[in-house]
Amino acid sequence: MILVTGAAGFIGYHVSKELLSQGETVVGIDNVNGYYDRGLKQARIERLIGHERFTFQKMDIAHPETVLPLATKWPEVTGIVHLAAQAGVRYSIENPFAYVESNVMGQVTMLELARRFERLAHFVYASSSSVYGANSKVPFGIADEVTAPQSLYAATKRADELIASTYAHLYALPCTGLRFFTVYGPWGRPDMAYYTFTRAITNGTPIRIFNHGEMWRDFTYIDDIVQGTIRALRRPARGDPPHALYNLGNCKPQKLTDFVAVLEQSIGRKAELIFEPMQPGDVPTTFADIEASRRDLGFEPLTPIEAGLPNFVNWYRDYHAAA
C-alpha cells in the first residue's frame, strides 16, 4: 500500500493513477483547498475513486492530530509519496503563512507519520528547482550550493530537504527528495504559465512575458515526472544518513517566447505578447543536470514540448468544453 499526499493535485493525481495501473493499492490524501479551482481537483479525485484499489481521505497534512492516527488505520503502508504542498512562487509573497503551515509543518507531520509505519521502506517527497535560486552556474546540479532562495516558497522547499535529512539521520528513515522542474501537461495547474497562456490565446487576450522575454525554463512533461517519481520510490535511499536528492527535469531549457510559439502552433492562433520586467521572487533560468537521476534511477525524459504541449491543448479543449 502506498500513501500519496496531494492526490487531488496535478502531480499527485498522475502518480496515483500510474501506481494503480502498476497494481498498487493507493491511499490518497488532500485537503482540496481553494488555491485554484476546486472543481478541477474534484474531477481528478473522481477519476481515481472509480478504481477499487484507491481510497481517498480528505485531510490537512499540517494537522498532526488527524494525520498521525493513520499509522494504526493503515499499518500496511510500505511507501509514502508526499506531494501535498502550497505551491506557487508569487503567491508566497502575498500569503507567507500558508507556505510555512503547509510546506514546513506538513513536512514534519508527514515524517512523524512515516516513522510510525513499521513496514515503511521509503519516504519520497517533492522538492523544487526553485531551491537553486538565482544560481548562475548551469545546469543546476545536486551538489551546487542552495543557500540563496529567491522566494519564501523556495525557502520552504529547501527547509523540507534539511528536515528530511535530519529525520533520516535520527530514525534511519530512508528519504528521497525530488527537485521538480516546471512540470506541465494534461490535468495541470491553472496558475501555471502554460495553462494561463493557453486560456489567453484561446480567448484572444494578451499574455504577460516577464524579464522582457529573457526567461528560460526546463519544461518537463508530466509523464516523465511520474516515471522518475515512481522509479525513485522503488529505490529506497541508502547511506548515512539514508537521504538522497535528485533533479527531475527535461535537461533542455526553452526560451519562454519559443515555448509560446509551440503553444500558438498547437492552438492555431497567434498570441498577443506584453513584455514586462522580472517579477519579485522569480529567476531567469532553470536547467536540470540529471546525470545522477539517470545513473541511479534510470530516469530519462522522453517528451519534447512539440509533443507535450499539443497533448495539453487537446486535454484543455476537452475539459473546458465539458465543464
Ordered per-residue pLDDT tens for the chain, 323 residues: 999 999 999 999 999 999 999 999 999 999 999 888 999 999 999 999 989 999 999 999 999 999 999 999 999 999 999 999 998 877 888 889 999 999 999 999 999 999 999 999 999 999 999 999 989 899 999 999 999 999 999 999 999 999 999 999 999 999 999 999 999 999 999 999 999 999 999 999 999 999 988 899 999 999 999 999 999 999 999 999 999 999 999 999 999 999 999 999 999 999 999 999 988 877 888 999 999 999 999 999 999 999 999 999 999 999 999 65
- Angstrom distance (rounded) from CA 259 to CA 267: 12
In a domain, 103, yes or no: yes
In a domain, 47, yes or no: yes
Quickly list DSSP for 149-193: -SSHHHHHHHHHHHHHHHHHHHH---EEEEEE--EE-TT--TTSH
In a domain, 30, yes or no: yes
Q: What cell was used for 51?
A: 478504481
In a domain, 79, yes or no: yes
By residue range, what is the domain housing residue 89? 2-181+221-249+288-301
Tell me what pLDDT residue 319 has: 95
- Residue that the C-alpha cell 515503511 belongs to: 120
The answer to whether the beta carbons of residues 296 and 252 sit under 8 Å apart is no
Per the structure, the count of domains in the chain is: 1
Is the link from the previous residue into 186 a cis peptide, with omega within 30 of 0? Answer: no
Quickly count: other Cβ atoms within 10 Å of residue 162's Cβ.
Answer: 12
- Angstrom distance (rounded) from CA 33 to CA 36: 8
- Residue that the C-alpha cell 517533492 belongs to: 126
Tell me what pLDDT residue 297 has: 98
In a domain, 157, yes or no: yes
Tell me what pLDDT residue 53 has: 97
- Angstrom distance (rounded) from CA 5 to CA 229: 13
- Angstrom distance (rounded) from CA 155 to CA 255: 25
CA distances from 296 to 49, 131, 166, 234, 322 (A): 33, 21, 22, 11, 42
Whole-model pTM: value is 0.96
In a domain, 28, yes or no: yes
Tell me what pLDDT residue 247 has: 98
**Residues with active-site annotation:** 153
In a domain, 123, yes or no: yes
In a domain, 200, yes or no: no
- Angstrom distance (rounded) from CA 198 to CA 310: 11
- Angstrom distance (rounded) from CA 141 to CA 153: 20
Cα angle 2, 4, 191; round to 5: 160
CATH number of 26's domain: 3.40.50.720
The answer to whether the beta carbons of residues 160 and 86 sit under 8 Å apart is no
Nearest 5°: phi and psi at 221?
Answer: -70, 145
